[in-house]
Structure 1
């Protein structure tokens, strides 16, 4: 008589649960743009969501603690002239976020710690280099101010946000629409998927494709790929019979998969989110109402199914919290921000433990907010692993650090756009009066900003007082 042996894993009992109703973010008009973007980006300070907006593109940024019903007049981040397609927080500065848009530009924004009174309309820097809409952006995991963008012009561009300059353009590598781009752990390699049904591993600094796999999944629907532990590549796609599949590949033998599993027959593209500390991949499908999670190990079948979190409402997008933003006192190993039509619902993944002590095995040292390299060092060929921090005492986000852009291009000295150009036509007799008006405007701006911060501080104190009396 055979006895089935259950595989031992500390993550075997991971379970997901939604937060209480008053901890959700409600009355948010999530964007209806047709795009396989996640529409949401989170960090230990903020949650950002791409929203519907008339006359251009916009996204909303909410402090994590500002839950409940969102005021319909809450300030937005606006500046794009067409819908926003992707957003991504800088891993080295929790107050800096980048956005990509149908207007062919990438913009980088500084978000203040306080809630502003008006829309944020002025980006720190605008990056122009694509000829068609930009649907993908991703920050470098270890180098300061290095940002990647990919557009419908089949072009991948690497930028130095600190100078506003283009570092590299990978323009002859993709023959069709790029579906997704992902970095490896130290940012030395890229993995891309494309409409030409190929997965490419690229060394961006040498501008070479070092490995390529045609048709990792036989279906015609979009493929996704990410790097996982030990440089392996995890893919999601569709079979010839339109069944959703997941695959695991080794670069040393890219022809045959280490693992290939069929899942179901749903139509939604599976978005993979990887936690390197636990080697767990979470799969979230557009239009699905579930999150499935798998542990990747060194033993067959290599991709082990753990569990499924299910809810009633289908998801329109998903945000994934970095490890340093989790609550270690509750054995939380992942947190998702699930977008519905009118709300954002945090989902908490926990491992049940009876002890209240810090669980070392669940929380190894994790990448912190300090970059390991400068942009010039990385471009010259240097690599470095992420600088790790301990979560034993929890992570406290650092205060607002301003992103400073040092322009090197002489063309940037041109006069600013807009109606202010007409000032140059004014007679010199009016220049003293004009200077006085501008000085008064600057003083009023500073006064308004100081009042905004004071109002925000008072609101936060009032919230704390209210919560304390409940």
Structure 2
């Protein structure tokens, strides 16, 4: 008589379940744009969803605890002149989110902790460099303010959001549309999937492809026969990859190991309604008291449904094996350090006592003054430059006046923000 050997794994019994009806987010007009992004981004403080919007592009940001029916007049984040295609929260600041659009721009936004009373229309910075629509965003995992964007021009651009400038532009590496982009754990390499059926591993600072020959896979797993796009989400702490089919109604999850056969099927979560998009909560946003190892935010036509993945345990104690130290919100490098060639592993935090999100930290953008690039001594001024007729003292006076006006604007913006916060408190009956 033969005996079947069962593979030992602490994740063998992972199961998924939806939350109760009153913990869902309802009456949300999810975008109908035909683009294969997740349409959703989530962090320990906020849930953001790309929505239908007339006259441009928009997305909605909800405090994570604000479940139930969403007011039809809830403020949106607007500013793009064409539909928004992708959004991504900054891993080092839970109040900062980037958006990419068909209008060829990337915008970075500061989201207040309180709910504003009107639409947010002014981004902290607008990044312009693509010639076609921008459909992919990915923040660097360890360097502060480094953002990657990929567009329909087959171009990958790395930005320093803190200065609003381009760090690197990776040209002539892709022959067709880029489908997806991901960083490795310390951000030294990135990987892209392209319509030309090639996967490229790229060293961005060296501007070269270090690997793209994947003709002989070490493991092959047949998924299904449907034509829907798969949205992959990988959790390095548990080595589990979750595959969510867009237009499908299931989430399949597999454990990845270092020994053959490398890929081990765990289970499938299925529901009745197909998903139009999916958000994936960072590890620090999970409820460790309930042995929760993953949380998804599944988008339907008019609602968002959280799905919780849990490992059954009888003990109420903190489960060290399920929750190793995980990347926290502090960056390990500055943008200039990374660009100069330095690498660093993420700064880890413990989840033993649960994670408490940090208060709003303002993103400051220090743009260089184009007037600082003065011609060298003795350089002849062209006719256009001489036409202004401004002497050096007069120019200095104008610049000083501009600086004073900017300070006045900043002070007024802060006053408006404080008044909005007080008005919000009065409206909610808390003051």
TM-score with structure 2 setting the length: 0.87
For 2:426 and 2:15, the matched residues in 1 are separated by 33
Secondary structure of the residue that 1:428 maps to in structure 2?
Answer: coil
C-alpha contact 1:316 1:341 (8 A) present in aligned 2: yes
For 1:26 and 1:356, the matched residues in 2 are separated by 33
Distance 1:183 1:422, change over 3 A: same
Q: CA deviation at 1:254?
A: 4.2
Q: CA deviation at 1:397?
A: 0.3
Q: Does 98-107 or 189-198 show the bigger shift?
A: 189-198
For 1:429 and 1:380, the matched residues in 2 are separated by 42
- The superposition leaves residues 151-195 of structure 1 with CA deviations (integer Å, 9 ceiling, x where unpaired) of 000100000000000000001101111111110000000111111
Q: Does 46-55 or 418-427 show the bigger shift?
A: 418-427
Report the number of matched residues. Answer: 430
Distance 1:411 1:39, change over 3 A: farther
Q: CA deviation at 1:297?
A: 0.7
Distance 1:439 1:111, change over 3 A: farther
C-alpha contact 1:114 1:456 (8 A) present in aligned 2: no
Q: Does 409-418 or 326-335 show the bigger shift?
A: 409-418
Q: CA deviation at 1:415?
A: 21
C-alpha contact 1:46 1:63 (8 A) present in aligned 2: yes
CA RMSD of aligned residues (A): 5.9
Distance 1:265 1:421, change over 3 A: farther
C-alpha contact 1:183 1:190 (8 A) present in aligned 2: yes
Task: Spell out structure 1 runs of 4+ moving beyond 4 A.
Answer: 411-470
For 2:77 and 2:378, the matched residues in 1 are separated by 19
Distance 1:201 1:435, change over 3 A: closer
Q: CA deviation at 1:372?
A: 0.3
Q: CA deviation at 1:452?
A: 13
C-alpha contact 1:114 1:453 (8 A) present in aligned 2: no
1:93 is matched with which residue?
93
Secondary structure of the residue that 1:361 maps to in structure 2?
Answer: coil
For 1:417 and 1:20, the matched residues in 2 are separated by 71
**Is 2:189 the counterpart of 1:258?**
no
For 1:38 and 1:441, the matched residues in 2 are separated by 42
Q: CA deviation at 1:300?
A: 2.2
For 2:305 and 2:15, the matched residues in 1 are separated by 16
The correspondence of residues 317-332 of structure 1 with structure 2, limited to 5 A, is 317-332=277-292
Distance 1:275 1:421, change over 3 A: farther
C-alpha contact 2:256 2:262 (8 A) present in aligned 1: yes
C-alpha contact 2:116 2:421 (8 A) present in aligned 1: no
For 1:72 and 1:416, the matched residues in 2 are separated by 58
- The superposition leaves residues 63-85 of structure 1 with CA deviations (integer Å, 9 ceiling, x where unpaired) of 00000000000000000000000
Q: Does 102-111 or 195-204 show the bigger shift?
A: 195-204
Distance 1:314 1:119, change over 3 A: same
Structure 2 residue aligned with 1:449, among 395, 399, 410? Answer: 410
Unaligned ranges ≥5, structure 2: none
Distance 1:105 1:469, change over 3 A: closer
